[in-house]
Amino acid sequence: MTWKERMSGCVAGIIKRLTLRAPDRRKFPRFEAKVPLVINVVKDEEISTVRALADGISLGGFSAAGLEGLAEGQGISLEIQLPIATQPMWVEAIVRHSNGCYGVEFVSLSEAQQRLIKRYCRLQPRQKRHSA
């Protein structure tokens, strides 16, 4: 096999691997995070509080484990304590994924909150995409 044939096969293999991976549908890049959260859920006129730690964050939302009991589509109120902020942020959000690792989308971010999250994200490493 010639060098040109080997390189052609190598390039074809790379292209195949890239095309087999599903496209990333996120609007915003996700970054690694260790952000404390206090989640308030209203159910049957009762408010329950869950404490958690976000392990990924973006301008669109966050991911976290250990949020058992939350259902996809459920609205929640959050208190987010970014390490670079002097005060916590209060945000409304909705649970989008609940398959062990929960994905939560922000639905109400002020411009000031967006700037703060952007600043925090710039200080964090990009989160690697999980293989399917």
Domains of the chain: 31-122 (2.40.10.220)
Cα separation, 50 vs 79, in Å, equals 10
Give phi and psi for 83, each to the nearest 5: -60, -25
User: Which range, 10-14, 18-22, 79-83, has the best average confidence (pLDDT)?
Assistant: 79-83
Question: What's the pLDDT band for 3 if we cut at 50, 70, 90?
Answer: very low
